[in-house]
Amino acid sequence: MSTLTTTPQENRATPARPAYRVTGRRVLASEWAKLWSLRSTWITLGLALVFLVAFGLIASSRYRSGIGTGRIDRDFADSTAVSLSLFGTNFAQLALGVLGVLVTAGEYSTGMIRSTLAAVPRRLPVLWSKAAVFGLVALAVGTLGAFAAFLIGSGIVSDTPAAMNLSHAGVLRSLLGAGLYLGLVGVIGAALGALLRSVAGGISVLVAGLMLVPGLISLLPSSWQGDISPYLPSEAGGAMFALTHDSTTLSPGAGLLVLLCWTALALGGAAYRLVRTDV
């Protein structure tokens, strides 16, 4: 009779395969890695920073030359170092908003969204993570650009009526407000990309909402303009970083609240479509 013997290798228990769980932290890390793996991210963020700083310095230099010659444009007559430095905000918002659209709609155009949603079946964490990651990046770029433009621009307009420094009332609030506005524009762009699932469609709606609609509103009767214009996304955002306000504009707090409502509306629409419809 033969006996069965076992070797030490056979007695060893096979190590169990680790179980991976989908957690919010891991989804955020995944979206962070995907964001920086794209060449368009680096290029577009760089363009946004260049737009914000370069146009601010151009406006400051133009104001300085006008003061020196005694022939200053009417549009620059009442300018301050803050308004001159933030002149490029309208250009930077387009770059960040477009990149926000690409962050979400780009996955639908390449089909990569199927792999993403297969890894995160609950879906909504994907949207929240994309919006949070890109919103924070846009906030950081916008704030950095606003402070850089102001610090350099304030030196250009020193010893002029527009001269200001960080200790002046409202300056820090304006610069931080500009960064926050650009961050929220980035979130709105990401939400539009997820809602429309089309790069062209998302960019078109974004540009229309930020630039075309305000121009059309200006064609309405003055009484209607006063009731509608302050509540548009771009006008509400402008109130966040404007140094002074009057009866026709919102306060910084009210402008932030209105822009948050627009952001929530875009995210809500994107979340509804993501949950209710198939990829």
Which residues, given as ranges, of the chain have pLDDT below 70? 1-20, 68, 70, 74-77, 279
Domains of the chain by residue range: 85-141+166-276
| C-alpha dihedral (182, 184, 188, 194), degrees to nearest 10 | 110
Q: How far is CA 40 from CA 48, 96, 150, 164, in A?
A: 12, 11, 27, 36
Instruction: Provide the whole-model pTM.
Output: 0.89
Which residues make Cβ contacts (< 8 Å) with residue 62, sequence separation at least 6? 73, 76
The per-residue pLDDT for 5 is 52
The per-residue pLDDT for 49 is 96
